[in-house]
Amino acid sequence: MLLDRDGLKADLYRRTVGHNESHVLVPLADIEATLAARAGNRGIGVEVANTTKVADLAPHLDSLALIAIAFPSFSDGRGFSIAKSLRNAGFRGTLRAVGPLIADQFAYALACGFDEVELPAESAARQPIEIWLAAARAFRATYQRNHNPAGASILDRRWAAKLGAAKLGAAE
Amino acid sequence: MYRYDEFDEAFVRDRVAQFRTQVERRLSGALTDDEFKPLRLKNGVYLQLHAYMLRIAVPYGTLSSRQLRQLALIGEKYDRGYGHFTTRQNLQFNWPKLRDVPEILDLLADVEMHCIQTSGNCIRNVTADQFAGVAADEVEDPRPVAELIRQWSSLHPEFDYLPRKFKIAVTGAQHDRAAILAHDIGLRVVMNAAGEIGYELMVGGGLGRTPMIGKVVREFVPKDQLLTYLEALMRVYNLEGRRDNKYKARVKILVHEIGIEEFRARVEAEFAMLDGPSIPADTEELARITAYFAPPAYEKLPAIIPAFEAAKRANPAFAAWVESNTFPHRAPGYTALTISLKPIGKAPGDATSEQMRVVADLAERYSHAEIRVTHHQNLVLPHVKQADIFALWQALGEAGLAEANVGLITDIISCPGLDYCALATARSIPIAQSLQKRFADLSRQRDIGPLNVKISGCINACGHHHVGHIGILGLEKRGEESYQITLGGDATENAAIGEILGPGIVAEEVPAAIERLVGVYLAHRKDGETFIEAVRRLGLAPFKAAFLQEAADAA
């Protein structure tokens, strides 16, 4: 099952070592060959373990359409930091979390820069899409400025509320 | 004290609603038991030996009278009429039912409290000097930065599935009363040469199986860069901390394995990448929080109150209590008062709902409705007028709360041990009780002077035995409880790990063995020298000899 913040989505990517198809997802070892074989480099994704160093991906960030990061178990949170680091390094393509995450981690994954989650069938069978969408909305706002869109964190909202109140006071 | 605004309130309410759905999803089978476990732990719900246990966060150990009354109510309604204050300044209830937990969380939210991240592999409740804002040796009150860290670390999207738990302690004082060197991160408010206030950060302290003293990772972090620096440090730990073995997963092991220089270099490299225009300036938020911690309106009082001095002269028991249980307040005529939760023969750190109400009422009447919890498992009324102390002492006495033993040999830190805990290998509370009985005579305790005894019922060291002047570790050997005695530990700025004196002894032998150690001190001490000072001067040898002699005599 593949989902993003809007719901279920079709998976266009195929895990393959073939270089000629569109939307391929290849292992890190094959990335240079895949990129070299493809003009325009469109629709190429790489799938990496959560022990991969961001520095090893850095040369390819502009060429990759998707980076899939493995979560070997839901309790191993390394993928969250890798995603955040990739966003900090300027990666603008799609970030996918692959593995048995739980719905309560969906908001975290989105906040760290993931766009989508690919679940194994067993987890998906227990946790239908409605649970994921509800879990993503569980909190009206959270505190972290660096992990929220600009203006969305509680700290920013507080500040906005204060400025708004001051404006209102000035108008009266 | 900090007060929730509409956003903090919405946040804890959403958290309670979330936990309700998590329990429902566990019951429906949407979540497996393995998946539910970290979720319940991050709401403070443990499965213990006989029942569930609920751990409530008391951020940086600060409580209002209103909050303490609510805890009393919860203890009465959902537990057995008492609660247990812990070494991390939290409160635990030992007998709640799982189905009642969401309701308890509602009641906590009503008084701006929660159980968020009191367990699990995440950043735990931040602890602080219990005399924050009161002590004279303070650069700055550390509670505002503790609150800033509390907010920042609450449900941090990136750092909620760490390799292992992560504990942060803060102090603003020269003298360390928060054991910051025994925490994953210790933070000290400092002033640099330019007169700017910032933070010194220590990393990699911790107790448990592999006790370590924290090391300085950065001498000065400017105020507005703290959260960014913490983000860099936590990212390094999240990515590099070991996940192959839970006993090697704390940050102290990473720091130990790669060395503090390499660890520092990695954090600095990450921090340098974060440096830039995207970095938030948290100074406004810190200023907003700081306003809540403005000192109460103290009366202008003389430093010496004749009636108080007269009461001490007239009543030696009162004078003794004042001597051990009061701490100098920076405002003239005021005192910070420690209420011992270590009456002889009771479980250290326990308070009944009735006692909680008494303390809440007294705080309201005499201490600006404020209470602190200490990591020594006692309570503090931080702002008491000296003229009120005598009346307070009498009222505490009626509630069984006037034990004059703060800092003395019977003021024992103890984990719950085998009486409650699923991890324990031996009993702790009965050992504490037997020692208290052995040393019950107050004049003898006062003669012995300051002495920290700390007891853990297993190697996980929740009772901080490694940093006790005398540490007692309960183990299991061939089906029998066996107690290992350590000497010379220290949890302050002189932090040290105690050394083992000899082979383990049985429970019945513990009081006599401790008595022998005290005997060595009394025989060798110089004028005004405390127990730990004497241990440092004399070294282990004479104590070891006495300990082994005792073991030989007992055999």
Work out the average pLDDT over B162-186.
Answer: 97
Q: Would the pLDDT of B383 be above 80?
A: yes
Q: Would the pLDDT of A172 be above 90?
A: no
What integer pLDDT is reported at residue B288 of this predicted model? 93
Residues of chain A with C-beta less than 8 angstroms from the C-beta of B39:
102, 104
Q: Which of A74, A143, A159 sits opposite B284 (nearest CB)?
A: A159
Distances (CA, A) of B102 to A138, B27, B28, B116: 16, 14, 17, 13
Is B286 found in the same domain as B170?
Answer: yes
What integer pLDDT is reported at residue A18 of this predicted model? 59
Percent of chain B whose pLDDT exceeds 90: 92
B 287-306 near A (Cβ less than 8 A)? 288
Tokens of A3: 């989902």
Instruction: Identify which of B230, B228, B229, B218 has the alpha carbon closest to the alpha carbon of residue B192.
Output: B218
What integer pLDDT is reported at residue A159 of this predicted model? 87
Q: Which residue of A has its CA nearest to B29?
A: A126
Work out the average pLDDT over B155-177.
Answer: 97
Residues of chain A with C-beta less than 8 angstroms from the C-beta of B7:
141, 154, 157-158
Residues of chain B with C-beta less than 8 angstroms from the C-beta of A158:
5, 7, 285, 288
Residues of chain A with C-beta less than 8 angstroms from the C-beta of B238:
77-78, 80-81
Q: Which CATH number fits domain A2-138: 3.20.20.70, 1.10.10.10, 3.40.50.300, 3.40.309.10?
A: 3.20.20.70
Q: Which residue of B has its CA nearest to A52?
A: B239
Distance from CA of A103 to the nearest CA of B (A): 9
Q: Would the pLDDT of B275 be above 70?
A: no
Q: Tens digit of pLDDT for each residue in B124-163?
A: 999 999 999 999 999 999 999 999 999 999 999 999 999 9
Q: Would the pLDDT of B274 be above 50?
A: yes
Q: Tens digit of pLDDT for each residue in B432-454?
A: 999 999 999 999 999 999 999 99
Specify the DSSP element, H or E, that contains A26: strand A24-27
What integer pLDDT is reported at residue A40 of this predicted model? 59
Q: How many domains does chain B have?
A: 4
Which position has the higher pLDDT, A165 or B32? B32
Q: Which of B5, B7, B161 sits opposite A75 (nearest CB)?
A: B161
R_g over Cα of chain B: 23
Q: Would the pLDDT of B517 be above 90?
A: yes
Distance from CA of B157 to the nearest CA of A (A): 4
The dihedrals phi and psi of B121, each to the nearest 5 degrees, come to -90, 70
Which of B338, B369, B398 marks a domain boundary?
A: B398
Is B447 found in the same domain as B347?
Answer: no
The reply to whether B149 falls in a domain is: yes
Q: Would the pLDDT of B276 be above 50?
A: no
CB pair distance less than 8 Å for B154 and A139: no
Per the prediction, chain B carries an average pLDDT of 95
Is B141 found in the same domain as B282?
Answer: yes
Helix B226-240 to helix B260-274 angle (10° resolution) is 120
The reply to whether B182 falls in a domain is: yes
What integer pLDDT is reported at residue B278 of this predicted model? 45
The reply to whether B115 falls in a domain is: no
Estimate the share of chain B in helix, then strand, then coil, as percent rounded to the nearest 5: 45, 20, 40
Is B241 found in the same domain as B140?
Answer: yes
Q: Would the pLDDT of B281 be above 60?
A: no
Q: In what order do the strands lie in the sheet with B379-385?
A: B62-64, B370-373, B379-385, B334-339, B326-328
CATH at B38:
3.90.480.20
Is B149 found in the same domain as B227?
Answer: yes
Q: Which of B30, B155, B278 sits opposite A127 (nearest CB)?
A: B30
Q: Would the pLDDT of B298 be above 50?
A: yes
Q: How confident is the model at residue A16 (pLDDT cuts 50, 70, 90)?
A: confident
Tallying the residues shown for chain B, one arrives at: 555
DSSP state of B107: H
Is B477 found in the same domain as B541?
Answer: yes
Q: Tens digit of pLDDT for each residue in B6-59?
A: 999 999 999 999 999 999 999 999 999 999 999 999 999 998 877 889 999 999
What integer pLDDT is reported at residue A41 of this predicted model? 53
Pairing mode, strands B62-64 and B334-339: unpaired
What integer pLDDT is reported at residue B280 of this predicted model? 56
* A140 part of contact set with chain B, CB < 8 Å: yes
Q: Tens digit of pLDDT for each residue in A111-164?
A: 999 999 999 999 999 999 999 999 999 999 999 999 999 889 999 999 899 888
The reply to whether B123 falls in a domain is: no
CB pair distance less than 8 Å for B15 and A139: yes
What integer pLDDT is reported at residue B554 of this predicted model? 79
The reply to whether B285 falls in a domain is: yes
The dihedrals phi and psi of B455, each to the nearest 5 degrees, come to -125, 125
Size of interface A-B (CB pairs under 8 A): 115
Q: Tens digit of pLDDT for each residue in B535-549?
A: 999 999 999 999 999
Is B159 found in the same domain as B279?
Answer: yes
CB pair distance less than 8 Å for B239 and A126: no
Can you list the positions of beta strands (E) in B184-229? 185-191, 197-203, 215-222
What integer pLDDT is reported at residue B312 of this predicted model? 97
Work out the average pLDDT over B316-324.
Answer: 97
CB pair distance less than 8 Å for A82 and B32: no
Written as one string, the DSSP assignment of B235-280 is: HHHHHHS--S-GGG-SHHHHHHHH-HHHHHHHHHHHHHHH-STTS-
Distance from CA of B37 to the nearest CA of A (A): 11
Residue B249: alpha-carbon gap to chain centroid: 22
Which of A37-46, B382-391, B450-459 shows the lowest per-residue confidence on average (mean pLDDT)? A37-46
Query: CB of B173 within 8 A of CB of B139?
Result: yes
What integer pLDDT is reported at residue B277 of this predicted model? 40
The reply to whether B119 falls in a domain is: no
Is B284 found in the same domain as B167?
Answer: yes
Q: Three-class SS string for B333-374?
A: CEEEEEECCCCCCCCCCEEEHHHHHHHHHHHHHHCCCEEEEC
Is B258 found in the same domain as B142?
Answer: yes
What integer pLDDT is reported at residue B47 of this predicted model? 85
Which of B257, B290, B323 marks a domain boundary?
A: B290
Structural domain that includes position B179: 134-290
The reply to whether B528 falls in a domain is: yes
